[in-house]
Chain A
Amino acid sequence: MNFPWFFKETATAANKQTNFRNVTSVQSEVVDVALHQLKTPMVALKWSIKMLLDKSLGPLTVEQESILLQDYTSCNRAISTIESILKADRIEKQNLILHILNNNLVTIANNKITELRRTAEMKKVTLTFSADNDPALEKIPCDAERISDVFQNLVSNAITYTPENGTVMVSLRRFGNDIRTAISDTGIGISKDHQKNIFVKFYRAPNGARMDPNGTGLGLFIAKTIVEKHGGKCWFESAENKGTTFYFTLPIK
């Protein structure tokens, strides 16, 4: 049977599309396994450094201990970079499965802030937290682990890009049927030219890249996607050299 030319074209295009999807899916699986395989020796290195630091393999000189502490930090950074890439990849493949339960948003935020307080202190950045006294905040339908990732990415970014003696303020407020989280800093800000790309995967504003060359440019992409998957919104206001406020909302029901 002879099909009109446009049917043939469409069929070919569809086949190409299917083949492309198959190739992409295979590549993605290969990347996934390769990244996990890269993570294994990094974890082994981290473990061996931890054993040396714990002195379970014998005493260390002060100099050795100081070098090993830096090695330990580098290993953790490499592992967390690999994890960010995996997370972004999973989000892109739409493989990010949320386990939604009613969770206390104040607890999730507070736990993360307690974890990050030490980093802020080391940078001499004041980190504050406040939340509305509203029972609705105690049962927000969300995936606690993923929302904790959002706090991790936004609050740690705020600390990273705020110079010494600056302030990072985290607040949780109710606005109608949403809880709005605001993370405000007195940091370097994002210039107008770079604001439109800030949520793009791997994108880094030049002043941010100068201040922290080790960033991956994945944190904001991951945070925004997680929030949107929860039915919320994520945005920011910023002025260069003055500071930035990132907001995200989560619906109460």
Chain B
Amino acid sequence: MVRKILYIEDDVLLSSLVNITLTKKGYEINTVPTAEQALETIKIFTPDIILLDIILPGMTGLQFLEIFRNKEQFKNTRVIVFTNLNRTTDIEQAEKLNAEFFIKAELTPDQLPALLEAK
């Protein structure tokens, strides 16, 4: 079954690289640059996994995560916070909201599919 990914990232180059990598591996990927657009997208696109940046224009990734987790149908959706911010407070908040936490700089695109299949 095709796995659906929603990637919330405002950096155009990063989102297109992830898009290319995951599409080639057979994922269905939807990328949006803001958390507000992501909230609209999930009304029509039910992701299996969310890849989430923290610093976004407007609502932050962690604010989005809080709203997302309050929706009954997304309580158990896998969320991977995927950021360059390595702040303890963010890691703790992400973990509290049942999300995983990864630093972009420590990964390369070819490692992404393995990360998505890790659970």
A residues engaging B (CB < 8 A)? 33, 36-37, 39-48, 50-51, 54, 56-57, 79, 83, 86, 95, 97
User: Which of B11, B14, B84, B86: most chain A CB closer than 10 A?
Assistant: B84
By a CB distance below 8 angstroms, the chain A residues around B55 are: 33, 36-37
User: Contact: A51 with B13, CB < 8 Å?
Assistant: no
User: Contact: B110 with A54, CB < 8 Å?
Assistant: yes
A63 to B104, CA, bound (A): 29
User: Is B109 part of the binding interface, using a Cβ–Cβ cutoff of 8 Å?
Assistant: yes
Distance (whole angstroms) from the CB of B94 to the closest CB of chain A: 15
Distance (whole angstroms) from the CB of B107 to the closest CB of chain A: 9
By a CB distance below 8 angstroms, the chain B residues around A54 are: 110
Distance (whole angstroms) from the CB of A45 to the closest CB of chain B: 8
* Closest B residue to A83 using CB positions: B105
User: Contact: A79 with B109, CB < 8 Å?
Assistant: no
> How many residues on chain B are close to A (CB under 8 Å)?
17
A50 to B86, CA, bound (A): 23
| Partner pick for A36 among B13, B84, B109, CB 8 A cutoff | B84
A37 to B56, CA, bound (A): 10
Known: A43-B104, A50-B110, A51-B109. A36 touches B21 (CB 8 A): no
By a CB distance below 8 angstroms, the chain B residues around A79 are: 105
User: Contact: A47 with B84, CB < 8 Å?
Assistant: no
* Closest A residue to B88 using CB positions: A97
Known: A48-B13, A51-B17. A43 touches B105 (CB 8 A): yes
By a CB distance below 8 angstroms, the chain A residues around B109 are: 47, 50-51
A47 to B20, CA, bound (A): 12
Known: A50-B110, A51-B21, A97-B88. A44 touches B14 (CB 8 A): yes
